[in-house]
Amino acid sequence: MRILHTADWHLGKRLDDFPRLEEQREVMEEICEIAEQEAADVVLVAGDLFDTFNPPTEAVDLLYRTLKRLTAEGRRPVIAIAGNHDSPDRIEAPDPLARECGIIFAGYPHTVVPPYLLESGLRILQSDKGFVELLLPDASAPLRILFTPYANEYRLKTFLGLEESEEELRSLLQERWQQLADRYCDQMGVNILLTHLFVARRGAPLPEEPEEEKPILQVGGAQAVYTDNIPAQIQYTALGHLHRMHFVEKEPSPVCYSGSPLSYSFAEAGQQKQLLMINLEPGKAAVVREIPLTRSKPLLRKKAKGVEEALQWLSENRDALVELTIVTDSFLTAMERKALLAAHPAIVSIIPEVTDAVTLREGTSEQIDLSKGMEALFRDYFLHEKGQEPNEEIMQLFHEILAEEE
């Protein structure tokens, strides 16, 4: 059985002022092509399908079109769970119609998928809270999936029926997984855990969560789950949340984050994005292969010594999204910022690194004059950030927001 693992699509996400939807369309197209080329039998999407609870219409359309295409007319099931950026209700809303296409959505840990049979031959054999067993067209062995979408502590405690500590939460989640594995997961089928949680090896340093990512290790979020909490029957654990592809553990069975298909912050600059193809047979070890994704724009960080060096480098790297740091003796003038922005279509931010201590102290003290009115302060801020004065439309929006606050 050939299983394609992906996660953290974050459809609709922007990088500051820069929309990424066209890039996302390109990458979704690439994922669909890879699923066909690799003859994937199943696709797993491990959460964060959208970037917000209320995604733009274009992002919703892109998700449904992509998942429909991935199903290959219902012959290839797609199982997609909610992440911490997703609204569980929104994820599950189209489920009755989606099931007819071979798409299974799960927004909550206690979601139950009703048994059914499609014309393609795809059959849901049995299900439970957080579990589904499928028989693929022409397959001789069933696929069993334990699934746990992202849930904050309140939802997990409701699912598990407890009110106690983090350690008990973790141990009862393990107990629930083990009950499902003991009941349904023997060596006559393929057994997978699909989840959007922070998973780590016990005793190992915790990896950092993505920059600008909504953390799930903080108050109100589900705590770290350890690899030794995963039942022994599970042959592969498909994870979402962390944007860098990596193995949390390789043996006795792989526990993997597929990572995001695009770099969504400059902390991810230089990362090779990829999909994971898993070959699985009943009772045998999983074989995992990385498949590079190539169609998104690179994110580049550049530290230049002065404006001239920056302009030269920008002319040589026009296809990237750029975070530019300028090492300079004094603050950048409005004309210098304007020249830099005109030299490249996708400068996300310009960071002056002032080396002269006197200039830095003087500039800091003179930057903000709190005696000015709100409109003047906003104009100064906009000029400093964008290198130009705000136009009438922006000022009208500013006044509307100011009126609402008053």
Domains annotated for the chain, with CATH where assigned, are 2-292 (3.60.21.10), 299-405 (no CATH)
Across the 406 residues of the chain, what is the mean pLDDT of every consecutive 10-residue run? 97 91 97 97 97 94 96 93 93 86 93 89 93 92 96 66 63 90 96 94 77 51 79 97 94 95 91 96 96 93 92 93 90 88 92 69 54 78 76 79 66
Gap between the Cα atoms of 296 and 18, Å rounded? 14
Give me the DSSP letters along 48-87. Answer: --BSSSS--HHHHHHHHHHHHHHTTTTTS-EEEE--TTS-
Helix %, strand %, coil % of the chain (to 5): 35, 25, 45
What is the DSSP-derived secondary structure letter of residue 209? P
Gap between the Cα atoms of 136 and 140, Å rounded? 8
User: How many residues are present in the chain?
Assistant: 406
Which amino acid belongs to residue 119? E
**Tokens standing for residue 36:** 């066909």
Question: C-alpha distances in angstroms, 131 versus 67, 115, 118, 248?
Answer: 21, 12, 19, 23
User: pTM for the full model?
Assistant: 0.83
**Tokens standing for residue 37:** 């080329």
Sequence-ordered list of residues with C-beta below 8 angstroms from that of 371, at least 6 positions apart, any chain = none
Residue pair 305/327 in contact by the 8 Å Cβ criterion: yes
Report the pLDDT value the prediction gives residue 61, as an integer from 0 to 100. 97
Report the pLDDT value the prediction gives residue 56, as an integer from 0 to 100. 94
